[in-house]
Amino acid sequence: MRKLSFLALLFVPFFTQSCSKKITETQVKAKRNLIIVANSTELKNVLAVAKAGDSIVLKDGVYDGKFVIKALNSGTAKQPITLVGSNKAVLDGGSLQTGYVLSLQANYWHIKGITITNGLKGLVADGANYNVFDDLTISKIGEEAIHLRKFSKHNIIQNLQISYTGLKTPDYGEGIYIGSAYSNWAKYSNGEPDRCDSNQVLNNKIGPYIAAECIDIKEGTTGGVIRGNTFEAQGITGANSADSWIDVKGNAYLIENNIGNNAQPSVLKDGYQVNCAYKGWGSHNVFKNNVCNVNASGFGFNIRLKSSKGEAVGNQVYSNNKVNNAGSGVANIPLITN
């Protein structure tokens, strides 16, 4: 494709007027940035040389293997790199036992439409910023479907379908995992909080058969938005204390306009939980206008005010949240009137 575009540029007639020549060069450049791939080898080769402005289109088919996008292959704000295909373009990692199907270490990528399946982890973003994950299908994963890690910030996860996670290790079978537990800060963030800040999770369908929480928001992360998602509790196993749609241990998250469902039988206890897993974290989160079909013995919103690690302070639950069939009530703290 690149060679053909270069030849086309060579054959622009010398007598072409300057304005026409500019148009022709622009068209040629646009063609040069469109790269169509049809198999795993082509995809790996293209990911290794991708540059700002490239648009990589996957033909329908199965792409066997594990794929890596390195930091040097980043886009820019004005020229992101797109990786796009239909849900019949399937990245298949080959085994639930090991490896990441797609490892993203770069910035400014738009990844849209494809299916990710059959790996220990689905999509892992390490030090990856300003990316958009849109309309992906992620299913049949050994542990978590998506993990934002190593200071990954300002990413958008939207319009995804996530199901059947934790097939190898239910304890780690989250739908979306933001940040790192403090016990892993030495490994992933040089002993400091893994500040995966300002990420947005929008309009996704997470579940059924998510073995752990639909979303796990870790201590050390701040200022994310969780909006417009649908959570299905069917399939949550209760492993590693997973008994809510979301476990919030970060600070200053806005969680609004989500719908949580809980078909029986189920181990769900509370709709949403806030926990202080490390001193100074689990605070100042806001819950607005969520629909919580809890159908369980706990609360719609269980704000655990104290733990052995510290206190969760400044969290707000608004009265416009709708909570159905929560045996213990809407929340364990006073509601904020709209």
pLDDT at 46: 98
pTM, entire model: 0.90
Q: What is the mean pLDDT of the chain?
A: 92
Is 236 in contact with 210 (CB distance < 8 Å)?
A: yes
Mean pLDDT of 255-272: 96
Domain limits, the chain:
1-32, 34-331
Bigger pLDDT: 33 or 289? 289
Could you tell me which residues are beta bridge partners of residue 138?
116, 162
Residue 5 confidence class, pLDDT cut points 50, 70, 90: very low
Could you tell me which residues are beta bridge partners of residue 177?
147, 216
pLDDT at 16: 35
Is 264 in contact with 236 (CB distance < 8 Å)?
A: no
pLDDT at 6: 32
Strand 225-227 versus strand 200-202 pairing type: parallel
pLDDT digits (tens, 9 = 90+) for 18-36: 333 343 434 434 444 899 9
pLDDT at 152: 98
% the chain with pLDDT above 70: 91
What's the one-letter identity of residue 326?
Answer: A
Could you tell me which residues are beta bridge partners of residue 247?
216, 273
Edge-to-edge strands of the sheet including 230-232?
A: 61-64, 89-92, 115-117, 137-139, 161-163, 205-206, 230-232, 259-261, 291-296, 322-326
What's the one-letter identity of residue 214?
Answer: C
E strands, 167-304, where?
176-178, 200-202, 205-206, 215-217, 225-227, 230-232, 246-248, 254-256, 259-261, 272-274, 286-288, 291-296, 299-303
Given the candidates 1.10.1060.10, 3.30.70.20, 2.160.20.10, 2.60.120.380, the CATH classification of the domain at 34-331 is: 2.160.20.10
Mean pLDDT of 193-201: 98
Alpha-carbon gap, residue 258 to 229, rounded angstroms: 5
Alpha-carbon gap, residue 69 to 102, rounded angstroms: 8
- Neighbour count for residue 134 (Cβ, 10 Å): 18
Burial status of residue 328 (CB atoms within 10 A of its CB: 0-12, 13-18, 19 or more): middle
Is 237 in contact with 263 (CB distance < 8 Å)?
A: no
Find where tokens 């979306």 sit: 176
- Neighbour count for residue 20 (Cβ, 10 Å): 12
Residue 64 tokens, joined:
């066997």
Residue 272 confidence class, pLDDT cut points 50, 70, 90: very high
Measure the N-to-C terminal CA separation of the chain; round to a whole number of Å.
Answer: 57
What residues have CB less than 8 Å from 100, skipping those under 6 apart? 66, 93, 119, 120, 121, 122, 123, 124
Bigger pLDDT: 241 or 172? 172
What's the one-letter identity of residue 232?
Answer: E
pLDDT digits (tens, 9 = 90+) for 32-49: 489 999 999 999 999 999
Alpha-carbon gap, residue 50 to 104, rounded angstroms: 13
User: Which 3 state secondary structure label does DSSP give 144?
Assistant: coil
Find where tokens 């005010």 sit: 305
